[in-house]
Structure formats: structure tokens, C-alpha cells
Amino acid sequence: MYHGIVSGFDPVERWCAGQALPLRCFEQQLSWLKSHRQIVALRDYLKMTEHGKLAARDVVTVTFDDGLASTFQHAQPLLKKWSIPATFFIATSHLERGHLLWFSYLNALCFEGVYDKLSVRGATFVLSSIEHRKQARRSLGALARASGNPRAFSNELAEAYPLQASVTAEYKGMSYEQVSLFGKCDLLECGAHTVSHSYLDQLSKDKQAEEIFQSKHQLSELTGKPVRYFAYPNGDYNRETLKLVKEAGYEAAFATCSKRLGTDVRFEIERMGIYSTSFLKFWLKVQGLVTFACRVGYSKLNERIHGNHRRLIYH
């Protein structure tokens, strides 16, 4: 599971935003997967793994969340060049209005250096260093969730701290033209990621249904293809969400970590998130060593691998 893919020429601050990876790191990871694993389309992966019940050895599928224009712009040519299938889970509200998704605005606000500090609901956030910006972004994200309406929180903040079009352009969502390409390409498939990327477990049944059903309809209309899969924004959902996703006609749904709320594993399939530029961390995740790495510590494990198995690590 990937999120943002940015140009290698972008400032390092932009790599911090939206769990983004520079293109060179993504290309290195994709190249390794192509050489060491069988990369298949999501529909084939589900068949091969019996809808998540069993893990197929050495088989992976590649997915992207959110539907950011820059991610598609940078990843699509590489996927096409190497004939690698992929699924993009797209939040559709930025298609309708051309506005940033609420979390994309927070990323741009914190990491683009437009403001030196922010005053939000009685708290002041200094943006003088990368660490300060990361902390501000974490705090604003927590405030957005606590508000119960992240989109309204973001809109309120945008009135006090507007951003120039040249800044927001780096964080915009996919265009109608980009999404329509999914209807013409067998390698790429789009899945739904709600309309506004809300925390579904905070919404009423009716609001959840609107997010789940409407995004499916919009993407199907744009691509001319059925939208078969759904990804829970932020990995959050509840039992009501599971019922609605099934009622909407999705064949499977994807989380970050399964909450095991239902009896059908097809609707709580876990994915492996790739967020770091470190090839070591990527390699450990692909090997299924995440828990071990967290327990031992990446630095110690790095020393062990470099000392005993240098051939495994790319420099």
C-alpha cells in the first residue's frame, strides 16, 4: 500500500507529507518486487489467496490510496513501462470541486513553508524546522479527528490560512482525465475510497452510506467499469461500515489492520503500508519481519544484516 509518490527533485519537506516516497525509492522497490516476486492484479491476488484466508507465497499486488494527481503522474509511466498491474483507491471529492482533500490541505499548510507559525483553537504551532512541522501536522490531524468533521475543520483553517494555487497544485487530486484512463487500460483498476476521506466510524449510518455508495457510482460513471473494491480511509470502520460496503456491492474491502469485526474476511483484508525511504524497512516488511524488526530495533538489525548478509541490502 502506497500513498504519495513525489519527484526526486521535490524539497525534502514534501516527502514528509502524506507518507510520500520520492520516485527513485519507489522505482527501486518496484524493481526489486519485479525481480523477486510475482506481481499480479488485485482480482488475481484475491483468487490466489482465497480472498485473504491464505497467504500465497511470493505473490504481491500493488495498491495506492487517496487518488493524488502527483502519485498517478509519477507511478503510471513506470507501471506501464514494466507492465505492472495496480489498483488506485480514489477519494472523489477533489474531482467534484477541485479542492484539496482535508488532510492534503493540512500537509501543504505544515510542510510548504508558507507560514512561520499557526494559531489554532488556542494553541500555537511553530513551523521553523522539519521536526516542528511534523509535530504540527500530527497535532492538527488529531484536532481534525477530534472535531468529528475533518473537512469542516480544514475549511475553517483554510479561511484563516489560505494557500496559493502554486502550492496547492502539488497536493491536488487526480483529474477527470486521469481517472477516465482507467477505463482504457487493463493494467490499472480503480477502487473507491469514499467521497471526502472521512473517518467512517464517526459518521451516522446515512452519512456512511453516502460516502460509500456515491464514490462507487462516481468512479463507475467516469471509467465505464464496475468498481469492485473499497479501502477504508485511515483504516477506520465499524460493523455498520461492513454492512454498508457489502450492500453497495463491493466484492472485497481493505484495511490497514483488520479489526476482526465481521465473519467475512474479504471485507477486512490487511495491507502492508510502505512509508519509509529506507530499503531495509521495505525489505523487512516484504519478508514478513515487521514485528521482529520493531522488537529488535531497525538500527541493531541493520548492523546484523550489514555484517552477515550484505547481499540483501541495496545501497
DSSP label at 87?
A: E
pTM above 0.85?
yes
Q: Which residues of the chain have pLDDT under 50?
A: 298, 305-306, 308-315
Q: What is the pLDDT of residue 102?
A: 94
Q: What is the pLDDT of residue 312?
A: 37
Encode burial over 42-64: b for 16+ CB neighbours within 10 A, e otherwise: bbebbebbebbeeebeeeebbbb
Cell numbers placing 228: 469492485
Q: Which backbone phi and psi does 159 adopt, to 5 degrees? A: -70, -35
Contact of 162 with 198, CB cutoff 8 Å: no
Question: What class does CATH assign to 5-97+172-270?
Answer: alpha beta
Give me the residue spans of the domains in the chain.
5-97+172-270, 102-170, 279-312
Q: Where are the beta strands (DSSP E) in 180-245?
A: 188-192, 229-231
Residues with Cβ within 8 Å of residue 220, at least 6 apart in sequence:
226, 227
Q: What is the pLDDT of residue 2?
A: 95
Encode burial over 194-214: b for 16+ CB neighbours within 10 A, e otherwise: bbbbbbbebbeeeebbbbbbb
What percentage of the chain's residues is helix, strand, coil (to nearest 5)?
55, 15, 35
Q: How far apart are the C-alpha atoms of 215 and 212, rounded to whole Å?
A: 6
Q: What is the pLDDT of residue 114?
A: 94
DSSP label at 49?
A: T
pLDDT in tens, 122-144: 999 999 998 999 999 999 999 99
First to last CA, the chain: 23
Longest dimension (CA), the chain: 57
Residues with Cβ within 8 Å of residue 145, at least 6 apart in sequence:
199, 202
Q: How far apart are the C-alpha atoms of 40 and 46, rounded to whole Å?
A: 10
Burial of 220 (0-12, 13-18, 19+ CB in 10 A): middle
pLDDT in tens, 80-102: 999 999 999 999 998 866 688 99
Contact of 194 with 202, CB cutoff 8 Å: no
Q: What is the pLDDT of residue 313?
A: 34
Q: Where are the beta strands (DSSP E) in 114-217?
A: 117-120, 123-126, 188-192
